[in-house]
Amino acid sequence: MQLIIDERSNIIHFFLLFGLFDSIMILPATLKIYNASAGSGKTSFLVKNYLTILFQSSHYDEFKHILALTFTNKASEEMKRRILQCIKEFSNQTISKEYYFLFDSLKKDLKLTKSQLSEHSKKILSEILYDFSSFSISTIDKFTYRTIRSFSKKNMDLEMDPHNFLWNVVDNLYNKLKNSEKWSHILGQFSLEQLKKGKNWDIRKELFKIAHLLVEENSFFPIKKIKEKSLDDWIFLKKTLLKRTKEFEKKCKEQGEKFFDLLKKKSIQKHSFPYEDFPKFFQKLRMGDIIFNTLNKRLEKSIQIGIFYNKNTRIDQKKLIKENQKEILFLYQETKFLYDKYIDSYILDKLFLKNFNFLSIIHEIEKEIHSLKEEKNILLYPELNKILHERIIQEPYPHIYEKIGEKYKHYLIDEFQDISLLQWENIRILVENALSENGSAMIVGDPKQSIYNWRGGDSKSLIHIISSSSKSYHKEVFTIETNFRSYEEIVKFNNSLYQSVYKIFNSTLYKYNKTKQKVFKKPGGYVELNFVCLGEINYKQYIYCQIKNKIQKLLKQRYKLSDIAILVRNNEDGNLLSEKLMEDGFMVNTSVSLLIKNHLEIEIIVHFFYILFKPLCYQKRATLILLLLQKKLIRTKKEDHDFLIETLFLPLNLFLKKIVGSKQHSLDLKNLYNQSIYNIAEQIISIFGLLNSYNTSSIYSFLDFVHRYMKIVGNSIVDFLEYWEYKKEKESIIISDDQNIDAIRIMTIHKSKGLQFPVVILPFTDWNIVSKKKEGTWIDVCPNLYHGLDSIYLEEIQPYFEQIDDNCIINSYEKYLSKIRFDNLNLLYVATTRPMEQLIIFAKHGNDKSVSFYIKNFLKEKKLWKETKLQYSFGIEKKND
């Protein structure tokens, strides 16, 4: 008995391993699950639970046994800061307004006096400061990385952005394979097939897609099965698929030939049939137009009501059709049966064959990835969870967790809806171990804020835990209903909007998203919905003008610029608004990618470099002149066209003199070629006066780029221009992220998650409910048809989906579409729950395929919608001062 008490942990593992847990009488602990909607004070809630564990313990170093996992660095730093600040203020007995609620709540819950709490805090703070490295509040990714490092023999760096790495892999692989006897012929076939499809013969882009699939987490399980196949297996499978598709095409063609042979034999003219539907149907089959040969509904209806010829058909033709009606009908029914039976697998086979060649090369890609990782001594960020998972499943009991399992007794997991399936599988072992040893665990999440499906985030893990039972632990589910962030009208609007939205869906993904929030003592607030009736050309410009007017109105209402956040779906929209606002003199604080190349000043400098490199390139000269005229940097009394013709063909020294004009500085051509690229850039900026208060960020970011280039490559203009063309699509303006400056904040909705702002403007609430991107997806299939593969990767499946009747495939594809709808709806939810006081939305009128459809549908339910009404508001707008 003493052995069981002393080595309780190991004995429990033994019983778990052999399924004998029921034979020892230990009551499992409780996993606490908190469904925390937006604005419910989740961080404060986590801090309170962390502090409760600390103050309940008789050990002042209990923090060493707590592991708190968050999703972002910002969240982990914020949680650390709050916990330390609380303990510090409790120990000094000088409690600020921000933390008084926590102090009072802990005092009551733990039945401690103020002095007891203060003394306890002093000792805890002293222990934390003495051993700060054991104060474990971390992101899940950092925790995973540290765990991998603990069992890795080598000290490897972490590569956060795999994009350039994978392109290096593809380039290396392509060069190796094209010089290989075994693969060069296959690569040639790949290229020819690309050309036949009307695509670029350069197959590196396709190889990159497969390389990306190999490292992304969403493809982990399907790729694992694919990697089990050898090249011989792929060759055999390809032969099978080609044979199957050709046999079906041959049968369809034969049926088509039969029909037209029958018409010829019986002297029946094809135009005698109603709308020529019978001949059209069989002609498509005869010509191999199979996939989109949907069985004509009009033809089916004609057959049902017994109409087989036109009213104006000649009597002799009517007679011939009547005489042969049974034979025609039998041939049609036979063909229809054949088509219905095989079309589903035929479509899948054809789609799979499109990517087949590239999937078959997967082993070579993987070898090259592994080789380059070894050479660079790195781990790829997207692979962390896979590496840890594969290590765990290799062992009956994962010994890599022994030290961690002994160290931590309490687990707090934040943003659980964003955890991937693999992340949860990796952490679950530790959580269940802690609960089996009378530790504690709590998870906090909100399925409505799951917006990271594209990188593995899956709210199904949270939903599954909420809805399922476990033998390893008890479970309690709590809902935090109060919204501490937003004013009443915003909470009421969001409650009504999403109650309306959830009526549309019949899916388990939405089952746990119907809770109405309560308001925490914040009357007031204002919501404004604007619908815009404009074409694509003027739409964004019009929205910008409306936003500019709205910002000026908000400033009159005594809001600061820093109170206003503009949330966008993508960097392109953020880029557009940031640049326009900066041009109009507004201070902007943004995290979106503002590309340097989009600024006229940068185009002027780059075109100047091109002219120095190729003095007789008149196209570049003309562009430079037009750019300078556009910015009014050339003063001329002549018409722009006349100045262009007069200047364009001058010798270079005279050309430069002409465009510089009567400016104080002049350009000495000989001296110019002897300078560094950086100095030339500075001289161009100075002579043309390109630097002003609105473009400081773009100019200095470009100069920083030039400086970095010179360190890497050197001082060649030719090489610089080549390097610029390669890098310009990624080089962004360096803008201060200082939250203390008074500037409008512009960010993507993904970046805004977890933040709050007094005023939120959603300028383009028009992203699609289902993405229009040609995205590939994994579809579940029958393993018997694909030699053991239970899922295959298909691209551009959407156009073909209507042709498929197979329930398994339909369900698989519907799940995929449901995830996309869920993500896009959740983006809207995250965006509309960021504001504290005002929410202003702009959307296109009449776009029912975008998320604005949900808002329009909500207005219809409320009987507020009118086709001619373009603005709706809830609450009372602040008056201008």
Check residues 331 and 772 and name the one with the higher pLDDT.
331
Cβ–Cβ < 8 Å for 105, 86? no
pLDDT at 245: 94
Choose the weakest-confidence range: 10-14, 565-569, 578-582.
Answer: 10-14
**Residue 276: both structure tokens together:** 């020529």
CA–CA distance, 453 with 818 (Å, rounded to integer): 11
Q: Look at residue 386 and tell me whether its pLDDT is greater than 50.
A: yes
**Residue 68: both structure tokens together:** 């708190």
CA–CA distance, 196 with 438 (Å, rounded to integer): 65
Cβ–Cβ < 8 Å for 873, 526? yes
Q: Look at residue 584 and tell me whether its pLDDT is greater than 80.
A: yes
**Residue 662: both structure tokens together:** 């009567």
Q: What is the percentage of the chain residues whose pLDDT exceeds 70?
A: 88
pLDDT at 666: 61
pLDDT at 348: 87
- Going through 393-445 in order, the beta strands assigned E by DSSP cover 410-413, 440-445
- Going through 65-205 in order, the beta strands assigned E by DSSP cover 66-70, 137-139, 157-159
Cβ–Cβ < 8 Å for 37, 480? yes
Q: State whether residue 557 is helix, strand or coil.
A: coil
CA–CA distance, 248 with 239 (Å, rounded to integer): 14
CA–CA distance, 816 with 814 (Å, rounded to integer): 5
Phi, psi of 474 (to 5 degrees): -75, 170
Q: Look at residue 673 and tell me whether its pLDDT is greater than 90.
A: no
Cβ–Cβ < 8 Å for 364, 810? no
What is the rounded average pLDDT of the residues 50-77? 92
Digit-coded pLDDT (tens) for 530-551:
999 876 568 888 999 999 999 9
CA–CA distance, 433 with 306 (Å, rounded to integer): 71
What is the rounded average pLDDT of the residues 649-670? 75
User: If pLDDT is split at 50, 70 and 90, which confidence band does 448 have?
Assistant: confident
pLDDT at 526: 97
Check residues 568 and 433 and name the one with the higher pLDDT.
568
CA–CA distance, 80 with 441 (Å, rounded to integer): 18
CA–CA distance, 65 with 82 (Å, rounded to integer): 19
Run of H or E including 838: strand 835-844
Digit-coded pLDDT (tens) for 504-524:
876 555 555 566 888 887 899
Task: Give a three-class secondary structure readout of 747-801.
Answer: EEHHHHCCCCEEEEEECCCCCECCCCCCCCEEEECCHHHHCCCCEEEECCCHHHH
Residue whose C-alpha is closest to residue 391's, from 426, 424, 427: 426
Cβ–Cβ < 8 Å for 753, 830? yes
Average model confidence (pLDDT) across the chain: 83
Q: Look at residue 655 and tell me whether its pLDDT is greater than 70.
A: yes
Cβ–Cβ < 8 Å for 558, 731? no
pLDDT at 250: 94
Which residues make Cβ contacts (< 8 Å) with residue 470, sequence separation at least 6?
Answer: 31, 432
pLDDT at 193: 67
User: If pLDDT is split at 50, 70 and 90, which confidence band does 606 have?
Assistant: very high
| Cross-sheet strand order for the sheet of 871-875 | 588-590, 744-748, 564-568, 757-762, 835-844, 526-532, 871-875
Cβ–Cβ < 8 Å for 526, 876? yes
**Residue 751: both structure tokens together:** 């970046």
Say how many C-beta atoms besides its own lie within 10 A of residue 750's C-beta.
15
Cβ–Cβ < 8 Å for 227, 366? yes
Q: Look at residue 798 and tell me whether its pLDDT is greater than 70.
A: no
Q: Look at residue 704 and tell me whether its pLDDT is greater than 90.
A: no
Check residues 776 and 576 and name the one with the higher pLDDT.
576
Residue whose C-alpha is closest to residue 121's, from 440, 399, 129: 129
Amino acid at 170: V
3-state helix, strand and coil shares in percent for the chain, rounded to the nearest 5 = 60, 10, 30
762 - beta bridge partners? Answer: 841
**Residue 93: both structure tokens together:** 């007995």
Digit-coded pLDDT (tens) for 710-750:
876 678 888 888 888 877 877 777 555 555 678 899 999 99
CA–CA distance, 107 with 95 (Å, rounded to integer): 13
**Residue 349: both structure tokens together:** 């086979």
pLDDT at 128: 93
Amino acid at 121: S
CA–CA distance, 261 with 408 (Å, rounded to integer): 80
User: If pLDDT is split at 50, 70 and 90, which confidence band does 12 have?
Assistant: very low
Check residues 357 and 240 and name the one with the higher pLDDT.
240
Digit-coded pLDDT (tens) for 320-344:
888 888 998 999 899 989 988 888 8
Which residues make Cβ contacts (< 8 Å) with residue 511, sequence separation at least 6?
Answer: 463, 467
477 - beta bridge partners? Answer: 33
Residue whose C-alpha is closest to residue 865's, from 849, 839, 880, 846: 846
CA–CA distance, 844 with 400 (Å, rounded to integer): 54
Run of H or E including 431: helix 421-436
Burial class (CB in 10 A: 0-12, 13-18, 19+), 369: buried
Q: What is the percentage of the chain residues whose pLDDT exceeds 90?
A: 28
pLDDT at 202: 64
User: If pLDDT is split at 50, 70 and 90, which confidence band does 637 have?
Assistant: confident
Place of tokens 């086709």: 867
Check residues 306 and 373 and name the one with the higher pLDDT.
373
pLDDT at 24: 38
The structure's pTM equals 0.78
DSSP codes, 65-103: GEEEEESSHHHHHHHHHHHHHHHHHHHHT---HHHHHHH
Check residues 616 and 395 and name the one with the higher pLDDT.
616
**Residue 806: both structure tokens together:** 């197979």
**Residue 598: both structure tokens together:** 């989009």
pLDDT at 628: 87
Check residues 714 and 457 and name the one with the higher pLDDT.
714
What is the rounded average pLDDT of the residues 73-100? 91
Cβ–Cβ < 8 Å for 10, 454? no
Digit-coded pLDDT (tens) for 556-572:
999 999 999 999 998 88
CA–CA distance, 579 with 111 (Å, rounded to integer): 56
Check residues 730 and 277 and name the one with the higher pLDDT.
277
Digit-coded pLDDT (tens) for 823-836:
899 999 999 999 99
820-824 long-range CB contacts below 8 Å, 24 or more apart? 820/453, 820/770, 820/771, 821/505, 821/769, 821/770, 822/450, 822/453, 822/459, 822/507, 822/509, 822/510, 823/450, 823/451, 823/453, 823/454, 824/767, 824/768, 824/769, 824/770, 824/771, 824/851
